[in-house]
Structure 1
Amino acid sequence: MKLLRLKLNTDFRSLQAGFEVHFLRDFDKAKMWDFMPYCLVGRNGSGKSNILEALAAIFYHIECIYLENKPEGFEGEGDFNHIHTDGFFAEYCSPDAFELEYIHYHNGSYSDDYSSDYDISYDAHILISKKINESPEILWLNREELGRGKEQKLSRIEVKKVLPDYVIGYSSGENEILSLPFFKMRFLHYDEYEDALRNETGYSQPEGRLVYLDNQYSQAVFLTNYLMQDEKILLPIYRAIGIKSIKQFRIIIRQGVPIAKYRTEENVSALRADELEIDNKDVFELTYNLKKRPEVLATELKAIDKLKNCATSQFFDAENKVLYLDFFIDPDHRNEQGELIELSEMKKAFQGNFESTFELFRTFQILLTLNLYEVDVQLKQDLYKSGSLYVNETVPKLPSDKRVMRFKDFKIEKEGNRDDISIKSLSDGEHQYLHAMGICLLFKDTNSLFLLDEPETHFNPDWRAKFISTLKDCLNQPEKRNMRELLITSHSPFIISDSHEENVLVFKKNDETRIVTVERPGFNTFGASVNQITLKVFEKHETIGGFANSVYDELYDRLEKGEDPDILIQIANDRLGDSVEKVMFVNKALEKKK
């Protein structure tokens, strides 16, 4: 997808009603399918992160309207504008009135009721419009122009075809506003799985498109990419950190967590199923949908069966019903020049059992989602209805031995270390770099929207300088359309310097009126110096820290009072490093001598 425009017609966070941002402008459309992430910049509190939060909230709202699988009590009852119960209503969203336009690339992979020619690709111009206290409308604006029918308003089935494949959220800090809709979606994913278990309908993957990949997914993302991706794509990331290989890891899966088969009043109020006085015949084992059933053909393997097929060794603790899977990864085979000849047996095993990179990640995602099993029904219902930014703090975190799935003994080979080290030994910056890049790589072939909030926070200057170029090396598809849309908020002038002017959006808030505006920088940012960007974008005239700058203020004051310029120049040379500020002071002092 490619974003065109977002207009907010009600206040949202620090953005006032009437705020509008244009992404892809008409004169930039020739480069629409190039790799061109948007860089949203501005001072703290200027509203740049609110754009990510608004987009996440909008797509969460649309998802909740069109999901087929929603838990009991999720939706409100009655007339929203009159008497109603608490719960989700299509008529209310935050923001509650907006217009969102984007281009959705249709590649001809699904049937079309309006044409027998299913293989035609086209760019659908989509408008999602919502007015206060009304349900959103989703229109296909150029439908008739493309010969796909005359009715602009899309049906329920059609809407699902023009939404992004996934909306991926990530923040290197603690942005509770951005994460809230994704956090709720995790519980919708869990309830969907549990309902499929009770209804015995089977389960393959979550229906909801929102995915928030915080640090609890970091090992899953790293493993998936390492085992399934082409190493040429991975090399720019691994070289930056010095990672040579993954040596081993363990997956521990609890297979004794009971889930009540029927939703009785007693069961609904209970904290978890294993506290109930129920017979074994009235419970399901939580991972039941992820294992092959005895009566099913051996070729129809489920997620856990496939992991077992790949494991070097396995052990089942029958007393505690815990499965231990150990994976020892042999090295790839290379020639004398270091070129890859043959993949390791472990990589072959994973690529033979899992059809795609995404299938393996989905396996990890589902198993990690099951760690939410102990959250009781009432707490989940409160969570779905809550707009509190602290709602995630009300959800208890399971101790490791209670989790359905966890990783352990994760060892890597890293340059500069004689022995293999634990993955947990990586620095915060190394973790964030590996994770942020890995997320983008994982979803690189999807028609998705990435919302990355300050991903470079823990990066050193070198990684910040290389962030965009490394992303491009990993994700750019010169012979294909780059269907992904990336929005990155940042304070880094290095990232701006690697972005073209049309892809940089500068947010400013008026100190008196509190009105937020957004505009392009007005100069060529690509290749511009850090000093120029700091001055023009962040309006910071100093190139040094505040404390050091105060020393110059003192020296200027002493100079104006008539002290000897030579002595003051000597003080500056002794106490302060080289900078533009030093050159300016020395020049001023020399002028005084004249």
Structure 2
Amino acid sequence: MKLHRIKLNAIEHRPLLKGLDLSFTDDNDLSNVDPNCFIGINGSGKSQLLETIADIFFYLDRIFRKINRVIEPNAPCLFELEYSITKSNQNYIVKVIQEKSRGTAPDVLLFDYNYNELELFLDDIESYLPQKIIGYTSGENETLSIPFLDYYDEYADHTASRALPEINSSKKGAAKDYDPRFYLMDYSTNKGVVIANLMSGNSRKVKLLLDSISITGIRNFQLKIQTKHKAAKGKDGIKLTPELEATVKNLKIAAAAYEYDASINAYTFDFYNNDVTRKVINKYFGSSIEFYTALYKLELLNNLIIDKKYRNEIKKTRRQKSLVIKPPTVSEMDKVFSYSEIKLFLNNKSLIDYINLSDGEHQFLNIFGTILMQDTPNSIFLLDEPETHFNPKWRREFVKLWNALAAGRTQDNFITTHSPFLVSDCKREKVFIFKKENGTLQISLPTKETFGASFDYILMSAFGLEYTTSEKSLKDLKDLIKSDDIELIEKGLSNFGESPEKFYLYKRIEELRENTKDDAPNL
């Protein structure tokens, strides 16, 4: 899947993006991960565009999916979208045009790679949408979260309705399940990502991931499921769908041991990492993404502890005001599903509890674990400043590791960043500089190649930084350069580290000495 073009003809809640018309190159080279990279200062529209892409695909998913379809009267914006997708080893081009904001579905056109139009029926449109939309945000208030949170709420409600016999018998399709199309990878998903990868992921690629953080593997973890406790609504608590009942049954088989408390219908599963456990997990759950999805669906049930009216009010406010409002956090003791006792082996064979890892290590495992397991073709990654908590070494190796984990996939990748490390590993035609001038968004490509470029050039192009030295030290250095006192300048040299700007102090000393010679009397 590759996004070729997005045009936003009208978008009321994000006026900065109105009129945006961006085209993206598609070199068909699957041997390298070559992300589209959005750079620029805060508030220049980078994250807004990522969210708009997610918004559009969320809208298309709702009105074209076969199960739990929602007739959406209001489009998120008036847009034109073009992307390529691979189906049954054939490449197709999809064009979507939304001309009216209310009451009218978009026109969806299908073409072969020679732009010959093909017949497309309404019930077939879903199969030409991206299979997975994966979002990542490191912050609590990132706008990218909104469409994913809405999807989370909607999917959780559908899961709850499918567990109720009276609804299943009267509402056609209510009992059917469908795998989620949207995955938001934020801090709350870390544990599931780590467990799924370390228990059922590709061993060679998992090692690549772990080598960077001095961890060799997982020793054990615990899962808890409780559906009939004091926080659960109704006398019978949270109902499980047949699919989730099957998941619980499979967890019983895979666990080394489990306990059951009938009074609150609670299970505590203990898992130990060994060959037998991994084989059983692979047999009953499949790949790491399938195992993660099974756990993800159980985790959705935590949303049902919160009163439905309150959840609906949050969702309404979120949409009306474009605010990232999350449901209140459910305490660990009240959750329907929770993780605990995750123990990891360090290189020196000592143990560390997962929660004792640093924020950067959590983020590293979450991002690259997600990239590793989300190998579904025709997927799109939307990563909003994923390197926020990374040290310089990890930032420098970001694209390299991404490539090692995901090269060869038919996926598209978008990333926003402020890091010159990431930009220096992206081709010029994939780098988009966002600038806001007098309230108007300007997007341009760099004038020179960015792949392998110096940080000075990247920082100048993206952020208008004439100097890369920090502002306070640069001011002090400039003040010293203005001095006519050679001795004062020489004494001040030791106060500054090595930098291109420090060269001007040496040059100033030479100038003053030359002037002294010129002023000397001729004898």
TM-score (structure 2 length as normaliser): 0.90
- Summarize the alignment of residues 417-566 of structure 1 with structure 2, pairs less than 5 Å apart: 419-477=350-408, 482-510=409-437, 513-557=438-482, 559=483, 562=484, 564-566=485-487
SS in 1 for 2:140: coil
**RMSD of Structure 2 on Structure 1 (CA):** 2.5
d(CA) in 1 for partners of 2:229, 2:354: 28
d(CA) in 2 for partners of 1:578, 1:146: 57
Relative to structure 1, is the Cα distance of residues 66 and 207 closer, same or farther in structure 2, using a 3 angstrom cutoff? farther
Corresponding residue pairs, total: 504
Answer yes or no: is the 8 Å Cα contact 1:202–1:289 preserved in 2.
Answer: no
SS in 2 for 1:353: helix
- String of CA shifts for 1:342-385, please: whole Å, max 9, x gaps: xx222122112223322211111111000011233322333443
d(CA) in 2 for partners of 1:516, 1:35: 28
The match for 2:267 is 323
- String of CA shifts for 1:539-567, please: whole Å, max 9, x gaps: 2122221111121132133x2xx3x1242
The match for 1:5 is 5
Query: What's the CA shift for 1:508?
Result: 1.4
Q: Residue 279 of structure 2: which of 331, 344, 348 is its match?
A: 348
d(CA) in 2 for partners of 1:285, 1:3: 40
SS in 1 for 2:466: coil
The match for 1:98 is 79
Q: Residue 249 of structure 2: which of 290, 305, 309 is its match?
A: 305
d(CA) in 1 for partners of 2:343, 2:113: 56
Q: Residue 571 of structure 1: which of 492, 500, 518 is its match?
A: 492
SS in 1 for 2:225: strand
SS in 1 for 2:340: strand
- String of CA shifts for 1:143-195, please: whole Å, max 9, x gaps: 5957774x4xx433121011000111111123442101110111111111112
Relative to structure 1, is the Cα distance of residues 317 and 144 closer, same or farther in structure 2, using a 3 angstrom cutoff? closer
Answer yes or no: is the 8 Å Cα contact 2:227–2:237 preserved in 1.
Answer: no
d(CA) in 1 for partners of 2:368, 2:31: 20
The match for 1:21 is 22
The match for 2:63 is 65
SS in 2 for 1:413: strand
- Summarize the alignment of residues 217-236 of structure 1 with structure 2, pairs less than 5 Å apart: 217-236=189-208
Relative to structure 1, is the Cα distance of residues 146 and 14 closer, same or farther in structure 2, using a 3 angstrom cutoff? closer
Answer yes or no: is the 8 Å Cα contact 1:14–1:47 preserved in 2.
Answer: no
- String of CA shifts for 1:77-98, please: whole Å, max 9, x gaps: xxxxxxxxxxxx43x233x211
SS in 1 for 2:305: coil
The match for 1:83 is none
Query: What's the CA shift for 1:256?
Result: 2.2
Query: What's the CA shift for 1:31?
Result: 3.5
Q: Percent identity?
A: 27
Tell which deviates more after alignment, 43-52 or 245-254.
Answer: 43-52
- String of CA shifts for 1:290-331, please: whole Å, max 9, x gaps: 465xxxxxxxxx11111111111111122332111111223x
Q: Residue 408 of structure 1: which of 303, 319, 340 is its match?
A: 340
- Summarize the alignment of residues 28-47 of structure 1 with structure 2, pairs less than 5 Å apart: 28-31=26-29, 34-47=32-45
SS in 2 for 1:578: coil
d(CA) in 1 for partners of 2:244, 2:5: 45
SS in 2 for 1:450: strand
SS in 2 for 1:446: coil
Query: What's the CA shift for 1:440?
Result: 1.1
* Aligned: 1:361 with 2:292: yes
Query: What's the CA shift for 1:36?
Result: 1.7
d(CA) in 1 for partners of 2:244, 2:59: 33
- String of CA shifts for 1:483-515, please: whole Å, max 9, x gaps: 1111010011010111111211111121xx221
* Aligned: 1:392 with 2:325: yes
Q: Residue 163 of structure 1: which of 129, 132, 137 is its match?
A: 129
d(CA) in 2 for partners of 1:579, 1:401: 55
- String of CA shifts for 1:552-584, please: whole Å, max 9, x gaps: 132133x2xx3x1242132122x1111111112
d(CA) in 2 for partners of 1:352, 1:377: 36
* Aligned: 1:273 with 2:240: no
Relative to structure 1, is the Cα distance of residues 321 and 229 closer, same or farther in structure 2, using a 3 angstrom cutoff? same
d(CA) in 2 for partners of 1:428, 1:285: 33
- Summarize the alignment of residues 167-178 of structure 1 with structure 2, pairs less than 5 Å apart: 167-178=133-144
Q: Which amino acid aligns with 2:239?
A: L
d(CA) in 1 for partners of 2:377, 2:84: 14
Q: Which has the higher helix share?
A: 2
Query: What's the CA shift for 1:70?
Result: 4.5
Tell which deviates more after alignment, 439-448 or 203-212.
Answer: 203-212
Relative to structure 1, is the Cα distance of residues 467 and 324 closer, same or farther in structure 2, using a 3 angstrom cutoff? same
d(CA) in 1 for partners of 2:113, 2:462: 42
d(CA) in 2 for partners of 1:291, 1:70: 18
SS in 2 for 1:5: strand
Relative to structure 1, is the Cα distance of residues 586 and 146 closer, same or farther in structure 2, using a 3 angstrom cutoff? closer
SS in 1 for 2:388: coil
Answer yes or no: is the 8 Å Cα contact 1:565–1:590 preserved in 2.
Answer: no
- String of CA shifts for 1:395-420, please: whole Å, max 9, x gaps: 2321111111101111001135x631
Tell which deviates more after alignment, 171-180 or 451-460.
Answer: 171-180
Answer yes or no: is the 8 Å Cα contact 1:63–1:208 preserved in 2.
Answer: no
Relative to structure 1, is the Cα distance of residues 253 and 98 closer, same or farther in structure 2, using a 3 angstrom cutoff? same
Query: What's the CA shift for 1:528?
Result: 1.3
Q: Residue 184 of structure 1: which of 150, 170, 178 is its match?
A: 150
Query: What's the CA shift for 1:35?
Result: 2.7
SS in 2 for 1:35: coil
Q: Residue 221 of structure 2: which of 224, 234, 249 is its match?
A: 249
SS in 2 for 1:392: coil
- Summarize the alignment of residues 114-263 of structure 1 with structure 2, pairs less than 5 Å apart: 121-134=89-102, 135-143=104-112, 149=118, 151=119, 154-198=120-164, 199-200=167-168, 205-256=177-228
d(CA) in 1 for partners of 2:300, 2:28: 41
Q: Which amino acid aligns with 1:286?
A: K
The match for 2:519 is none
TM-score (structure 1 length as normaliser): 0.80
- String of CA shifts for 1:236-285, please: whole Å, max 9, x gaps: 21111011110111111103269xxxxxxxxxxxx9632x6xxxxxx575
d(CA) in 2 for partners of 1:324, 1:16: 49
Query: What's the CA shift for 1:30?
Result: 5.0
Query: What's the CA shift for 1:224?
Result: 0.7
Query: What's the CA shift for 1:222?
Result: 0.9
SS in 2 for 1:487: strand
